[in-house]
């Protein structure tokens, strides 16, 4: 087997250098743990960036993938396949509404949502509904349109000019949203909890205001639940916390249990704006990722992982608060379910991530001053306490920083 140095050297030689990777290569995963090239175990509180909800290599997900791959792997969307339609029905049943388009990633699910909103809002012959209002600090993807939608100007700079129809308001500023949503607005695109932006929670008031302005002004309300969907926040969907129902929801990350699949689900009337040929993708909703997604949802349901996420999330927040109480290096601990961040009073997040890695704990730095914890939803009380203990000890070293 290759050593870590072999792998790192090959990566340096043959990859475009867009990723800042941790100095470790993983070869195996099981449950809450990943194992590196030396066989060392790490407690995984990254979960493949909020992707792995059932734990690594859950036997039911593995079996579904193996059986489907051995039976039928790909036919394209020129034909019908059963796993794809079963998954569409399962998502409909979970939401209680909606028709789906399957994509391959979160960014693509959002691309679909933005196109759909524009087509829908133009349907009565309107000529000028093309603008999209999003929030500052948001993250919606790295394609040209979803990068423009992302409310992080430093990510835009090297690629300017980006499509101009995207604008941004401060998160939770209802007055700014009121001013920004106008007659030309086709969609308001929001994360219920900003994941990549640092685990920033939208208030119920802000989400309700977005719903109201969209209804009044004929815009489509899109919730990007790529990171928060399917149990991550202790509900199947994060919008349930506020009780604000969107017109369109996008999902990806945890949907495929580790395989790439995204979904854009729209209320029937909006979904009907798309006609044949309006949108498509070769791989979308292929039999293998669809089978993986069905198995993943079954496991989440059967093993009560949404409830576990709520319970363990509360324990994680409480435990991190207790371990960091009185430590001036920590500004706050925030989150819902198993999407949690430790907000620091300085730009130490990368150093804390590196220190945690040395102690066998994986976490990641979403911003220079925020460390995110997004473990698999199977995390136990023991896993939570260990992770909170390690983080507490590390940030102790920053008391006087």
Ligand X SMILES: Cc1ncc(COP(=O)(O)O)c(C=O)c1O
Give contact residues for ligand X (rule: CB under 6 A). 49, 105-107, 110, 139-141, 191, 195-196, 224, 226-227, 252
Least distance from C-beta 71 to ligand X, angstroms? 26
Least distance from C-beta 155 to ligand X, angstroms? 12
Q: Active-site residue among 45, 101, 130, 139?
A: 139
Q: Active-site residue among 130, 166, 213, 224?
A: 224
- 318/321 Cα distance (integer angstroms): 5
253 a catalytic residue: yes
Which one, 106 or 234, has the nearer CB to ligand X? 106
- 287/54 Cα distance (integer angstroms): 20
- 282/343 Cα distance (integer angstroms): 41
Per DSSP, helices labelled H in 257-286 are: 268-271
115 a catalytic residue: no
For β-strands 131-135 and 185-190, DSSP reports them as parallel
Which one, 288 or 329, has the nearer CB to ligand X? 288
Q: Active-site residue among 166, 253, 323, 383?
A: 253
For β-strands 361-362 and 41-44, DSSP reports them as parallel
Phi, psi of 318 (to 5 degrees): -65, -40
Per DSSP, helices labelled H in 55-163 are: 59-71, 82-95, 106-121, 144-149, 153-156
Which one, 364 or 369, has the nearer CB to ligand X? 364
DSSP state of 132: E
Q: Which residue is nearest to ligand X (CB)?
A: 106
DSSP state of 259: B
Quick check: 299 and 291 in contact, CB under 8 A?
no
Least distance from C-beta 373 to ligand X, angstroms? 15
Least distance from C-beta 146 to ligand X, angstroms? 7
Quick check: 64 and 292 in contact, CB under 8 A?
yes
99 a catalytic residue: no
Which one, 107 or 219, has the nearer CB to ligand X? 107
Least distance from C-beta 159 to ligand X, angstroms? 16
- 251/285 Cα distance (integer angstroms): 13
Which residues are annotated as catalytic? 139, 224, 253
């Amino acid at each position: 087997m290759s050593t870590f140095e072999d792998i790192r050297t090959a990566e340096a030689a043959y990859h475009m250098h867009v990723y800042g990777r941790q100095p470790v290569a993983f070869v195996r995963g099981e449950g809450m743990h990943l194992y590196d090239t030396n066989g060392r175990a790490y407690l995984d509180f990254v979960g493949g960036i909020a992707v792995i909800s059932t734990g690594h290599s859950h036997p039911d997900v593995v079996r579904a993938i193996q059986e489907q791959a051995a039976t039928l792997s790909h036919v394209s969307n020129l034909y019908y396949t059963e796993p794809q339609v079963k998954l569409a029905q399962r998502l409909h049943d979970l939401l209680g509404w909606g028709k789906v388009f399957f994509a391959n990633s979160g960014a693509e699910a959002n691309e679909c949502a933005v196109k759909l909103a524009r087509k829908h809002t133009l349907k009565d012959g309107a000529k000028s509904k093309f603008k999209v209002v999003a929030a500052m600090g948001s993250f919606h993807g790295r394609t040209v349109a979803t990068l423009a939608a992302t409310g992080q100007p430093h990510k835009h700079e090297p690629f300017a000019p980006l499509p101009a129809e995207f604008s941004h308001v401060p998160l939770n500023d209802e007055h700014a949203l009121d001013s920004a949503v106008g007659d030309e607005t086709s969609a308001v695109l929001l994360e219920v909890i900003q994941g990549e932006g640092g685990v920033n929670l939208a208030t119920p008031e802000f989400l309700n205001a977005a719903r109201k302005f969209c209804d009044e002004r004929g815009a489509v309300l899109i919730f990007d639940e790529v990171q928060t969907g399917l149990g991550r926040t202790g509900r199947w969907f994060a919008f349930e916390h506020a009780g604000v129902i969107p017109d369109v929801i996008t999902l990806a990350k945890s949907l495929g249990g580790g395989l790439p699949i995204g979904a854009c689900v729209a209320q029937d009337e909006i979904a009907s704006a798309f006609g044949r040929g309006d949108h498509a993708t070769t791989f979308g909703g292929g039999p293998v990722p669809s089978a993986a997604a069905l198995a993943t949802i079954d496991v989440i349901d059967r093993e009560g992982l949404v409830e576990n996420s709520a319970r363990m999330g509360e324990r994680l927040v409480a435990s991190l608060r207790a371990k960091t109480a009185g430590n001036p290096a920590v500004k706050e601990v925030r989150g819902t379910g198993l999407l949690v961040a430790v907000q620091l009073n300085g730009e130490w997040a990368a150093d804390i991530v590196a220190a945690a890695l040395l102690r066998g704990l994986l976490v990641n730095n979403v911003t220079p001053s925020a460390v995110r914890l997004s473990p698999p939803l199977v995390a136990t009380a023991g896993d939570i306490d260990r992770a909170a203990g390690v983080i507490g000890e590390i940030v102790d070293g920053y008391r006087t920083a």
